[in-house]
Amino acid sequence: MSSQGFSEYLQARRAEIEAALAAALPAPPGCPAIVADAMRYSVTAGGKRLRPVLCLASADAVGGDRALAMPAACAVELIHTYSLIHDDLPAMDNDTMRRGRPTLHVVAGEGMAILAGDGLLTEAFALLARAPAATDPALVARKLRVVGLVATAAGPVGMVGGQAIDLACSAPDAAGHSAPPLDADGIRIMHSKKTGALIRASAVAGAIMGGAGDGTIVQVDAAAAELGLAFQIVDDILDVEGVSAHLGKTPGKDAAAGKPTYPALYGLDVARRMAAECLERAERALRAADLAESRLMEIGRWIVHRSN
Ligand code: GRG
């Protein structure tokens, strides 16, 4: 690892990601301005850029060329932004603030918000297909592996599936039936799909594009699964403790909606301890691949100790 401090590393990676995202977004005349503007509104609204930073840090950790991982980094952020736009819709979580701004459907209408989300999801895969440009069969194979990995993480086995479980528990179906409340295991599984799968895929995609061997990829995946769970536990804690201006979204919503959060299930102290234990397990996995001194571990500490 270089002697650069973590906050400088984070700042530098974020600046690269912002530039790459801006260049990757479709624009007129090919893309109608109305949907191009809607996509840009949500992507450029800020956000921590956790997933793309994780992707780049993973490529760094395995000694790879970070530039080869940038398209995957942007793709996971485009997919994450689509998921936030759709999650905020009245038919889902019905939220009016995101990333410190009114949600997209509030400013552009529901139809355009749905289309902007669809556009971001599909554009993510167009980006993975075209970049990095490759004719070398080994690099083409890495790209293909990442396409499959990200599609699975974002789709019905991953994020869409987790969201479906959450939706079924929070809202009655057309016949007025609600799914029974989730137990602790059910909640863990729901979160591992809804938020964990894309976080895992972000780290693994970076390792693959960085040229890591399968043994290393397995440990990066195991560590990222722990970080994904820690992320969710901390998200729930911040939802209880948070201030809207810091979070950029409406705090206390989950608790008010009676959602089964980690603090509600276990209490704040145990929830904090659980997040710390995730970090310890992530460190063990990374140590097994000789990556415990990498930026990945610093990202883990950031996830657990963040305030937004
Ligand atoms: C609509 C298919 C579909 C999926 C939505 C991720 C998701 C699934 C919904 C988000 C709901 C939510 C607020 C979950 C809590 C964890 C989470 C994903 C928070 C937002 O991610 P951050 O904190 O956001 O990384 P920023 O804005 O920093 O990128």
Give the pLDDT confidence of 239-292 residue by residue, as tens digits: 988 755 555 666 566 666 667 789 999 999 999 999 999 999 999 999 999 999
CB-neighbour burial class of residue 16 (10 A; exposed 0-12, middle 13-18, buried 19+): middle
The pLDDT assigned to 255 comes to 66
- Whether the predicted pLDDT of 88 surpasses 60: yes
Q: Write out the E strands in the chain.
A: 97-98, 101-102
CA 198 – ligand 1 centroid, Å: 10
d(CA 105, CA 124): 21
pTM to 2 decimal places: 0.95
Distance 232 CA to ligand 1 centre (A): 9
Query: Which has more pLDDT, 180 or 70?
Result: 70
Would you say 190 and 165 are in contact if contact means Cβ atoms under 8 Å apart? yes
Closest atom, ligand 1, to C-alpha of 86: 1
Regarding the beta carbon of 202 and ligand 1, being less than 6 Å apart is answered no
Q: For 56, left (φ over 0), alpha (ψ -120 to 50), or beta?
A: alpha
Cα 151 versus chain centre, distance:
13
* C-alpha 199 to ligand 1 mean position (Å): 11
Average pLDDT over residues 19-38: 98
CA pair distance 233, 236, nearest whole angstrom: 5
125, 151 Cβ separation under 8 angstroms: yes
Model pLDDT, residue 98: 96
Best mutation site among 10, 96, 194, 198 for ligand 1, i.e. most ligand atoms within 8 A of its Cβ? 194
Lowest mean pLDDT among 43-52, 117-126, 176-185, 237-246: 237-246
Q: 254 C-alpha vs ligand 1 centroid, how far in Å?
A: 13
Q: Give mean pLDDT, residues 106-129.
A: 98
| Residue 165 pLDDT > 80 | yes
Name the residue with the closest Cα to ligand 1, atom 2. Answer: 160
C-alpha of residue 245 to centroid of ligand 1, in Å = 17
Q: From the CB of 160, is ligand 1 less than 6 Å away?
A: yes
**Residue 180's pLDDT band (cuts 50, 70, 90):** confident
Q: 159 to each of 190, 199, 244, how far by Cα in Å?
A: 9, 10, 25
194 ligand 1 Cβ < 6 A: yes
pLDDT at res. 247? 55
Write down the residue that tokens 């893309």 correspond to. 31
pLDDT score recorded for residue 2: 65
Closest C-alpha among 102, 130, 124 to residue 41: 102
Are 271 and 199 within 8 A, CB to CB?
A: no
Looking at per-residue pLDDT, the higher value among 174 and 297 belongs to 297
pLDDT at residue 37 is higher than 80: yes
Domain annotation for the chain: domains and CATH numbers: 6-305 (1.10.600.10)
Mutate to test the pocket of ligand 1, among 98, 114, 195 (most ligand atoms within 8 A of CB): 195
Percentage of the chain exceeding pLDDT 90: 85
**pLDDT for the residue 205:** 99
Does the pLDDT value for residue 1 go beyond 80? no
Does ligand 1 lie within 6 Å of residue 195's CB atom?
A: yes
